[in-house]
Amino acid sequence: MSFQVHGKDLLARIGTLTTKSGSFQTPHMFPVVDPNRPVLDPKFYLESGIRAIMTNAYLLKRGRPGQLPKDVHGTLGFKETVATDSGAYQILEYGHVGVKPAEIVAYQEKIDTDIGVILDFPTGFHSDARRAGWTVDETVRRADEALKRIKRTDILWVGPVQGGVHIKEVGRSAVEMGKRPFSIYALGSPTELMEAQRFDVLVDMIVAAKKGLPHSRPLHLFGAGHPAMFPFIVALGCDMFDSAAYALYARTGRYLTSDGTQELAEIEEFACMCKICDNINPEEMRHLDTTEREQLLSKHNLLACCSELRRIREAIRKGHLWDLLEHRAYANPAFKKFLAKIIQHSPFLEQFTPTVKPRGISHFGEASDHRPEMVRYSARRLRVPVERGKAVVLLPGRWRRPYHEDPRNLPIVSKLANRSNVSICFYTIPFGPAPMELDETFPLAQTESFDSRDPIMYDQRAMQVAEWVKRLSPKLVFLVSEGEYGVAIGKELLGRSMKLKVIRIHATGSKPDRTVGSIIRLLG
């Protein structure tokens, strides 16, 4: 087995997972197939490029009392990767299952599964901290028992992390399970959280699991199947998930899209042009018999999931996953909460984001301040070596990049840059102070942004500029002041009792020669 990583962004990665029956790309969603009530012909999965599905070993066993299916691939009619869940979810629903941990391992080996899950003990949503602690210990005990019983090393075994909403317990479970040699780790019990839209708790759970687990192995999230959530959970480092949502939503006439759920009853036109939606309109679909309607809706729902995964993988390749998160956050206030919580973990996300990206980044506003590239720039700025006691010249950094190439800055920069007693810095949106030394580095020169002329943004950036200037202990500061931003910086500098010369210019009629002339005169 191998898990090869081809690309990274935030905590997300694009990878290839190889099992004994084939390979598939991650991030991946395993469509969950009910072995006793299959909704779709298995051929449809392969035709749609889905190379790995999941079924439930417990349901498979229960649906065929007295007879053992020889092989799960034959039973489902799917020759590529099949993952089997152990039945732990049924414990959550019914309180117990009639099988022992060793028995479910042996069963999964007999039916020739490719990815098997040990029988863990789910914490659930309503357990108190003590009970959660117990489920963590019980899962570890079961993991050790299962590891002793495993005979087939050609199966990839999954070690579930428990702890539920008790974040400390999730962290402890991740560290304990991470010490054990599982090929894949999984985070349990988030389904109820997702249904209740408690994305804030879910974010903390996933981050706690990621921090405790070995980073080289894939992380699976149980029961995540709404495409609108995929960018968020992938950004947090979930490589795989499984869900029957595509079929369950179809049963109740719900149509999945990347922005949320729609009711078939209320759709006039399908925006989607997948092979299903392109051949039927909503009115015709509503008039089909129940089984056919459920099938077509299931197919569209599944294709909507696949399409979103493609979009995410492409965003990872381009280094644009954060942009997708911001975009999605505007689709639904609940997702805005999701992003707000992710922002709290941005220093952790920053550690895993590539330092240089194939393309520039976008800055849309306040939320973009927390994207890893911005976090990193703020820290890097403070590490630039400075010579104290020079004169500082502050110039407006406008849309033109690098900032010094702006035709209104170039004449000033070219006359001052080689003077040993001058330090040049641009005041910019979104970066605040952009010292000349960093002007041509990533991401400054490659960022797309717009100035919303927001006074709060100006004040906040003016403060950063003043802090930067203070660090240089200048003998004199020249502020080439433009607009409200310039005024805000002037106020900040005066507030810090700096020796300041303000040269006011107007955006439309600035005369660089006159500006540089007066600076040189004053420098002496």
Q: How many chain residues interact with Zn ion (CB under 5 A)?
A: 4
In the bound complex, what is the minimum distance in angstroms from residue 210's beta carbon to Zn ion? 33
* Least distance to Zn ion, CB of residue 272, Å: 3
What's the half-sphere exposure (Cβ side, CA atoms, 13 Å) at 179? 8
Rounded Cα distance, 154 and 115, in Å = 9
Decide if 85 is catalytic. Answer: yes
Piece of 1-9, 164-172, 292-300, 486-494 that binds Zn ion (CB under 5 A)? 292-300
Q: Tokens in use for 188?
A: 């349990």
Contact between 491 and 463 (Cβ < 8 Å)? no
Q: Which of 111/306 has CB closer to Zn ion?
A: 306
Query: Among residues 9, 34, 71, 85, which one is catalytic?
Result: 85
From CA 89, how far away is CA 32, in angstroms rounded?
Answer: 13
Closest CB 204 distance from Zn ion, rounded Å: 34
Q: How far is the CB of 241 from Zn ion (least distance, A)?
A: 20
Of 150 and 274, the one with the shorter C-beta distance to Zn ion is: 274
Among 142, 300, 328, 408, binds Zn ion (CB under 5 A): 300
With contacts defined by CB under 5 A, name the span among 101-109, 295-303, 354-362, 453-461 that binds Zn ion.
295-303
Break the chain down into helix, strand, coil percent, rounded to 5.
45, 20, 35
How far is residue 16's CA from residue 373's CA, in Å, rounded to a whole number? 26
Round to whole Å and give the CA distance between 53 and 125: 26
The least CB distance from residue 444 to Zn ion, in Å, is 41
Strand (E) or helix (H) holding 347: helix 346-350
Phi–psi pair at 82, nearest 5 degrees: -120, 125
Contacts of 139 (CB under 8 A, 6+ apart): 120, 121, 160, 162, 173, 177
Q: How many whole angstroms separate alpha carbon 428 and alpha carbon 434? A: 7
Our CB check for Zn ion shows the closer of 331 and 375 to be 331
Distance CA 85, CA 89 (A): 9
375 binds Zn ion (CB under 5 A): no
* Binding residues for Zn ion restricted to 149-168, rule: CB under 5 A: none
Phi first, then psi, for residue 436 (nearest 5°) are -50, -35
Question: Which range in 82-90, 258-266, 294-302, 485-493 contacts Zn ion by CB under 5 A?
Answer: 294-302
Restricting to residues 445-484, name those near Zn ion by CB under 5 A.
Answer: none
Q: Give me the amino acid identity at 190.
A: P
Shortest separation between residue 302's beta carbon and Zn ion, angstroms: 10
Query: Which residues in 393-412 contact Zn ion (CB under 5 A)?
Result: none
Q: Which is nearer to Zn ion, 1 or 274 (CB)?
A: 274
- Minimum CB distance to Zn ion smaller for 198 or for 299: 299
Contact positions with Zn ion (CB under 5 A) in 253-282: 272, 274, 277
Binding site for Zn ion (CB under 5 A): 272, 274, 277, 300
So which residues are the catalytic ones? 85
